[in-house]
Amino acid sequence: MATIPFSMVIPTYNEAGGIERLLRAIDRVCRESHLDAEIVVVDDNSPDGTGAIVDRLAAELPVRCVHRPGKMGLSSGVIDGWKAARPESRALGAMDADFSHDITILPKMVAALDAGYGLAVGSRYVSGGGIRNWPMRRIVTSRVACALARPLTRVKDITSGYFLVRREALENVTLDPIGFKIGLEVIAKAHYGKVAEIPYVFTDRTTGESKLNQREIFNYLKQLRKLYAARLLPRRSVA
Ligand SMILES: Nc1nc2c(ncn2[C@@H]2O[C@H](COP(=O)(O)OP(=O)(O)OP(=O)(O)O)[C@@H](O)[C@H]2O)c(=O)[nH]1
Ligand SMILES: [Mg+2]
């Protein structure tokens, strides 16, 4: 049976250390499981040359690079990647470039959409999922972030950045590209119907540098405020 064609977007900033290995590994998983995938890397003119590596690989793999002129943020990168996705893709996704997201669950995510789910989320917080190598500070931050968003959804891993959503679930949905949490925008706003959470063990990056900082935590709180306000005061626009 044919599986749903999809475009997976990977935003990158200074990921030269691992991007080739990641793209080859995703391609292998997709070929082995006969997935109809396109990978769209959105690179923000990384000084370490990530974009040029992806351009070189595009001759060999079903991969494309969207180049933006400078560092414009993860969430807007994902949204720009979706705009550039090939028209035949009926599902759109996002994942990080640093191997934190387990690529071997991709076939299960696609199978969930094939089975009628509108959203498949790679989840650390369902049975079988977990976190490896994270300092206690990051674990606590992630748990608190999820707890703050809990009333918005039944999804357990609300701050997951690893997901696939049906394209039509995003129709007429305005996604705010604030901060790091594009997954939360989709989980809170898209019209996806049934959601499947697929467990995986999140692994902290081993190459490159973290871009999580105080400003991103502040942006997350701003994003939550907007989402709650939109729920509670649906008629008013929120600045
Ligand atoms: N295009 C683009 N990609 C970004 C930007 N900021 C982060 N990214 C990418 O978004 C993904 C997630 O960023 P990470 O630095 O891994 O953030 P994190 O997972 O919260 O933190 P660590 O894994 O601890 O580093 C990675 O693929 C980054 O390269 C940005 O401004 N523009
Ligand atoms: Mg990461």
- pTM, two decimals, is 0.94
Strand ranges (DSSP E) for the chain? 6-12, 37-43, 63-67, 91-94, 119-123, 130-132, 163-166, 195-199, 201-203
Does residue 42 sit in helix, strand or coil? strand
What residue segments make up the domains of the chain, in order of their start? 6-232
What angle, 0 to 180 degrees and rounded to 10, lies between the N-to-C axes of helices 50-57 and 19-32? 30
Ligand 1, from 21, 48, 72, 74: best to mutate by most atoms within 8 Å of Cβ?
74
Ligand 1, from 10, 48, 54, 96: best to mutate by most atoms within 8 Å of Cβ?
96
C-alpha closest to that of 6 among 224, 148, 163? 163
Written as tens digits, the pLDDT of the chain (239 aa) is 789 999 999 999 999 999 999 999 999 999 999 999 999 999 999 999 999 999 999 999 999 999 999 999 999 999 999 999 999 999 999 999 999 999 999 999 999 999 999 999 999 999 999 999 888 888 899 999 999 999 999 999 999 999 999 999 999 999 998 988 999 999 999 999 999 999 999 998 776 666 667 888 999 999 999 999 998 876 655 44
- What is the residue with the minimal CA distance to atom 7 of ligand 1? 74
CATH topology classification for 6-232: Spore Coat Polysaccharide Biosynthesis Protein SpsA; Chain A (3.90.550)
Q: How far apart are CA 187 and CA 194, in angstroms?
A: 11
Q: How far apart are CA 112 and CA 225, in angstroms?
A: 31
Q: First-to-last CA distance in the chain?
A: 47
Measure Cα distances from 190 to 19, 100, 171 in Å.
Answer: 29, 24, 8
Q: How far apart are CA 184 and CA 153, in angstroms?
A: 9
